[in-house]
Chains A and B, each alone.
Chain A
Amino acid sequence: MVQGKEELPDRSTLITNGKVGGTRLIFATLGGAACWLAHLLLSYGIAEMLCVAEILREPVLGLSGIGWMLVMISAALIFTALAALAVSLRLCSAASYAKGTEQGSAILFTARFGALSNLIFVVVIAVESIPIIYWLKEC
């Protein structure tokens, strides 16, 4: 083994102790971006397909069925992106106790990166969805 390695703390602890699992880290980092991608593809698919097929176009409470579907999808994905934001913020605090270590700094950066990114994508999803309610209601 490497000389002096035995005296060092277990280098895999931070990743494997359950505080910073791989899946959790990926969700915290890319969750918001994935939600935005899902939002765009689902919204585009639904608008394109249902409008052309003339399905769910009748207005209900001032908005067509298609419009309501899009609003619900937007709400669900904003909620999921917010969850990713919350996870990334929790990771920030989980990693900050180990900031002085190589791995702690790396995880802290990734968590902060995720928090900023999730925030941006929450805003983008919201900006893309709001016109559906007010201005762009029709097929």
Chain B
Amino acid sequence: MNSEEQKPESNADGKGERRAAFEKVWKAPTGFEDWFKTVNNQPFGNRFMMTSFVFFLLAGVQALCMRAQLAVPDNDLLGPEIYNQLFTMHGATMMYLVILPFLEGLAIYLLPLILGTREMAFPRMSAFSYWVFFFGGVIFYTGYLFNAVPDTGWFVYPPVSLNEYSGLGLDFLLVGLGFIEIAGVGTGIEIATTILKFRAPGMSLGRMPLFAWAWLITAIMIIFAFATLFGATVMIEMDRALGTCFFRPQCGGTPLLWQHLFWFFGHPDVYIMFIPATGIVSMIIPAFARRPIAGYTLIAVAIMATGFLSFGLWVHHMFTTGIPLLSFGFFAAASLMIALASGTQVFAWLATLWRSSPDYKTPLLYVLGFLFLFVLGGVTGVMVAIVPFDWQVHDTYFVVAHFHYVLIGGVVFPILAGLHYWLPLIIGKMPSERLGKWSFWLIFIGFNLTFFPMHYMGLKGMARRVYTYPESLGLGWLNLISSASAFILGAGFLVVAYNVVYSRKRGVTAPRNPWNAGSLEWSVTAEMPNYVFLAPPVIRGREPLWDQSDEPHDPYLESIAKALKNEPAEWRAALVTDAVTGEPQAIQRVSGPSYFPIIAALGLLVTSVATLFQGYLVALVGTIFTIIVAGLWLWPRESELELMRRSKLPSKTGLPVEPTGSAAAPWWAMVGSLAVIGTIFGVLLYSYFYLRVYSPEWPQGSIKPPNFSGGAHYLLLLTSLGSILWARRAYNKADAASAAIALTVTALLAALFIAALSAQLADAEFAPSRNAYASIFHVTSWHMAALASGGALFLITAATRIAKHKNYLKGYTTLHLQITELCWYFTCVTALLVYLTLYVSPYAF
């Protein structure tokens, strides 16, 4: 796309009017509305990044306070209580509020530009995720207002995190964390759908920029990892607020269960931050080396392998907790093998730079710093993957050094590289090179002097998470160097912030593509319109702006792009392409400005704050309010649907404007949502069997579990499979009345199931707080009831839509039914697994 394309055209043939209408449809709200109603990717990308930077400053101040405390031995500057609060808030802020949200902001900002599409798949989800993240961060820090700051560590290990030992401060952290998990999962689903379905025509998987590859894998990882943490967080909050026994040893629970669940999230979380950082590096190196990346396919495979393997390493955080010797092999080997995948990327980057004549500008300096530091962090990672070595250095400063090399060297350095690299696109000005180089050297030197000595401190036995150390350890001088250098590191970050502000005000206006890069985002400038691309760009190679491809132009793709120039002008839309081949599949409506995202986030805030102070009635009202708002948000306006049905685009392009099945973005959103719900059920079922294995008696407390017939109400869900199949048959025959009746019958069966299950739980001889068995039985059943309720809601809305649109049984109505079917089949399969676990397994083995 060139600058001419962004100018209005002449009025010939009504093209000027179409262009004006198109511009109007994509116009962003202004003034007050801009703050709360806008949904475009650029403002929300910016908001994510700026908010996380504010939290970064807070975390930095906390780190400097800690280093001041540790500067000399036997220091009592802060004392143990404040020190515990500081390392908890520093760790939690960096892990939950800084790195990933910043990277998500960068992704939301850049992905439409890099993929050649007009918007993210679900712009309102971007807005909702931002507001939820923002409220979560505020809740996180509200503890300071009540003098109730969490002090358990960011990992929240029980029994310290149970209410006998931790007060309101931890509730703030856990509720804030719940918000951040929801925001993370929402963003994950949105990013995965965008990358899979919203690519420019011709951008097959093999031509997708590595930044997008990295984010595709990361987004899928976020869905599973954050869902696991969400399940675990709810369980520990139940232990604290409702007296359940999942992690409480005195009533049959086990704190180790938390460690398993937490690290099943926690270890992938490191890679959730690292993989997008590698995506940034893979974009910058070719731009500066002036050549395509070496080993593209190998890097893509390495990203995927890293994503998978990262879910197999969680036990290496638990080598000292006592696990069967047999298990060491799997986890140590997986921990070692992941170095293979990471190493592959390092060699590919070095090969790309090899014998090139790069211009050593600030972004490249940060990348080179990353390569050096990450390799060091990786080597110590391999060391702690070896079980006997891990036993030796566990909970020492060696581990602190290792993970800071990985997280600052491996993640923050690429973020800083990316910030300097894409700043011309974000603020429209070139960053100052002089300030950039100053910041790099301050950060690089400050970082190494702060953290490298910690390897030695750890080997000498200095324990982490302890507020001081004795002089006899002989590490005073090293700690002093480390503390003084931390201030140099902090100064470096301040120079980065100053550079952004200074360059924005006084920087040189950035030209188009200032680095002469080959990727698509540089085809536009910071003054890009909301829709970014007037017509979808046709992709013929991996570096579209270098266009080295010798493949001929594809007339079909060119004609699709031409037909979509300025179009549609009545509603916001983007082209949907095949996930593998990048072939055009459909034209998908994308949502426009709305207050619903912030109102839904506020509803969630009311629910959570009420829960925090045990106002359960208000929490219930908040939940119902949020569900109603979500319903209004998702329900498409009839006037807009009518416009779509009158569109000439299907006849011009051969592509549907009301896509169905896997061609439709909402279908992928449902798949993602079901993956989240399934993972939470996985957490509950894993917990059931884990508690069972480690319990000398099962069910505990001589409880007689319900037998096969005790779960007869689950048969209602099995029966409902027949009625939903009946609905599908009737719909295929365009018999709207029968389809609506069949869906209503299915919903009634669901309602009967929920009523019977509720009655069983109300009459149960064991309360959820009696022991761990009772807790897991009740909570799994509640979750099953909640899933069936959600499914019933979908069934009723689908029945209503089919009954209402009986003369138009296609397009969105078909999609609605498909999504409902997907949800209901999932509900039935989950119900079968829950039934087998709760009602059959206690008698079967």
Contact = CB atoms under 8 A, between A and B. Distances in A.
Query: What is the size category of the interface that chain B forms with chain A?
Result: 35 or more
B556 A105 contact: no
A48 interface: yes
A127 B205 CA distance: 30
B580 interface: yes
B297 A5 contact: no
Interface string B630-657: 0000000000000000000001111000
B826 interface: no
B297 A102 contact: no
Interface string A101-132: 01101111110110011001101100111011
A44 B330 contact: yes
Nearest to B312: A40
A27 interface: no
Contact of B204 (A39, A106, A117, A124): A106
Interface SS of chain B = helix
Contacts of B551: 100, 102, 105
A136 B654 contact: no
Interface string B556-569: 11011001000000
Contacts of A15: 581
Nearest to A36: B308
Contacts of A121: 305, 308
B653 A2 contact: yes
Interface string B677-695: 0000000000001100110
A81 interface: no
Contacts of A85: none
Given A2-B563, A113-B301, A128 B330 contact: yes
A76 interface: no
A77 to B, nearest CB: 12
A44 B315 contact: yes
B204 A102 contact: yes
B286 interface: no
Contacts of A25: 580
Contacts of B202: 102
Contacts of B557: 102
Interface in A60-114: 66-67, 70, 100, 102-103, 105-110, 112-113
Contacts of A2: 556, 559-560, 563, 652-654
Interface string B295-331: 0011011001100110110010000000111111111
29 contacts: A2-B559, A2-B652, A4-B559, A5-B654, A33-B305, A36-B312, A37-B311, A40-B334, A44-B331, A48-B327, A48-B690, A49-B689, A70-B326, A102-B204, A102-B551, A105-B204, A105-B206, A105-B551, A106-B204, A106-B580, A106-B581, A107-B580, A109-B204, A110-B206, A116-B297, A116-B301, A117-B304, A136-B328, A139-B324
Interface of B: 202, 204-206, 297-298, 300-301, 304-305, 308-309, 311-312, 315, 323-331, 333-334, 336-337, 340-341, 551, 554-557, 559-560, 563, 580-583, 651-654, 689-690, 693-694
Interface of A: 1-5, 8, 11, 15, 25, 33, 36-37, 39-40, 43-45, 47-49, 51-53, 66-67, 70, 100, 102-103, 105-110, 112-113, 116-117, 120-121, 123-124, 127-129, 131-132, 135-139
